[in-house]
Amino acid sequence: MKNLMIATAATVALMASVTTTAQAADGQKTFQSACFACHGTGAAGAPMIGHKDAWGPRIAKGIATLEKHALHGFKGKKGVMPAKGGRSDLSDADVKAAVAYMVSKAK
């Protein structure tokens, strides 16, 4: 019984790890196909991926705020974020995964 519980716990931990990796891969894929045009070049005042100084104040506002701006659009002092980056075909989950991916690159 004890071995079964250990095996079950190990399986759950492995599945959580695989899920996290899959989510990161989805975020990267969405970034590359939809977000790179601005967040890879700085177009429209977008904070470039990996630029900690540009992302720091945004991250400090919380992931929920970043997701809201990415999903619904935002006009700030330094630029504009169109809703879903102008890609209405993206699901909310795709957009959130891309936000998480970009945030992970700025930490």
State residue 15's pLDDT score: 44
- At the fourth CATH level, the homologous superfamily of domain 2-105 is Cytochrome c-like domain (1.10.760.10)
| Nearest Cα to Cα of residue 71 among 34, 104, 43 | 34
pTM score of the predicted model: 0.76
Q: What is the mean pLDDT of residues 40-57?
A: 97
Instruction: Say what angle helices 2-30 and 92-105 make with each other, to 10 degrees.
Output: 90
pLDDT of 30 over the 60 cut: yes
Could you give the CA distance from residue 18 to residue 42 in angstroms, rounded to a whole number?
32
pLDDT digits (tens, 9 = 90+) for 58-83: 999 999 999 999 999 999 998 999 99
Q: How far is CA 50 from the centre of its chain?
A: 12
